[in-house]
Structure 1
Amino acid sequence: MAGGREHGYARYRLDGCRCYICGFARSRYDENRSKAITAGTWKPWVDAEPVRVHIRHLQSCAMGLRTIAAQAGVDRKRLQSVLSGRTERGTGPQERVRPELAAAVLAVEPTLENLAPSTPVSPVGTRRRIRALVAMGWPQQYLAEHLGMRPGNFSMMLNREYVLVSRVLQVRAMYDALWRVDPSESGATSAGIVRARKHASDRGWAPVGAWDDDTIDDPEAFPDWTGRCGTAEGYQAHYVLGIAYCDPCRQARNAAKREQRVAGKASATVKVDARLRRTGTTRPLPKSA
């Protein structure tokens, strides 16, 4: 296998192999190319700039070039050529790439599974998952043991500005395993469950039911305690359910009150104008300063 390439079109062109397999691959390529040219769909090259931008975006998300190449299923040197060119040949970045390479690279996303385990990321989703489990009654000591951590390190993790990808994935797995399990069925004592729930309640930690899978990791999202949080009806739902009022519901209630006041003033003005028209009088002019 010359140059590590299998028999096929690439070996025919690059290594000069003229065996049956390579010759057949060349003929198939020429046939498909002719058909595409006739149909007007022949695009052997595409602009490399979108690929280059996407690679840099992935790198800004802490993905290394080797990891990107592995996820895309391409050689790392090909991505290096797209980014900065082949310095040993004195050439600049590629201006065009094959459509297959572009599609493979653009399909790579900076998911947690694609990042290195030691990559620091936002702790928002990790905190919310742990706090939701505590609100269920899971003692923090039990959660720390589940993660193989000491209680002191566990508390420090909750207060850090970032957590490592490896820990995020561990907490996600723990959350998925425990959020539907009664703590008492796993050995938690009644006193420990009560203390955990009170600890969460005193700090306003949202329970499991307040989060959806598509919001729990979003820093801009807020917990939906009532199913109507963030609306005027949510404030009343807090009262009926006996749940402490959340900020979105307070803001929605205040906004509704302001609208009612504006509507009330407008209605009063309309009534006054109607009365003046009936009596044939005019609205008094305001006093000059």
Structure 2
Amino acid sequence: MTLTVHDVSIRHYTEADIDSIVAMINGDPFHLKNEVTVQAFKHGLDEPGERIRDNTFVVEREHAIVGYFSLCFVEANTRINVYCYGTVDRSWRRRGIGTAIFAFIFDHLKAIAQQEARTIRFIHRADTRIAGETTLGTNFGMQEKNIMEVRCRRDIELSQAYNLPPGYKFRPPVLADANDWADVYNDAFDGHKQAESVIHEFKGTDFSPNLYILCNDKAGQAVGLLCATQSGTQARIASIAVRRDAQGLGIGKALLSEIINRLHGVGVRDIRLSVDSQKTAAKSLYSKFGFQEEYQRINYVTTFLP
């Protein structure tokens, strides 16, 4: 599939494009991931059930790749949620590339909704640090859904340790824990994570047995989890979750303290995480641990009906 609008061509990626895509990602200080390897990028294309490989595109102008984006399809009860990951070469920003990408995405998702007779909800996560991202959402008639605060703790020092309840313990997860990991995540976030997706994640280059933590209760049942990734002296806590029936026992505090101390031990200086601006309890917890708001990601949504 290829679309050409105002001298901008958008086409499905090929293997020959991957080096250029990875270079763009690593050259973008605002991308969700930096220091991405070709191996890690390829691994991410095959996230189970999310159609990423079939929906990854490059943007060309004047015979050069000036951007890329991947659409991620996530089943959610009666609809499909679609998220977009991508970047535009920094020298080509504010020159209509983002508008061309959105026009392509809208047409692409309208066609899929009709072909598959499914409702599709597209979520645009606008980074408030990047000029024009919020404008794209409003210009295309999208509705603001919620705001995620990205918080950072800088120049980290050892944290006060918080004890788990008697009989509870931390351990690194293994592949056999995939169902338990998914169950804890889904219970905490009303999610739809599948065990096969967890297995894929555990087999990826971001997985570290030191930075992925599973918490078991005294009966050996999984009640909490945390996963973090490291890139040099920076780290990101991707998920921290505690089952609802185990909340209030101090598990979240113990998980957060544990990962801060582990990251400190491997030379990390800055840690980032995201929290919904409406989640007052979580925000209070992170504030107590020294995480301060750095910027926001505003989630805009639009729906395509069959």
TM range (shorter): under 0.3
Higher relative contact order (CA 8 A, sep 6+): 2
Normalized against structure 2, the TM-score is what? 0.19
TM-score calculated relative to the size of structure 1: 0.20
Which structure carries more helix by proportion?
1
Structure number with higher strand proportion:
2
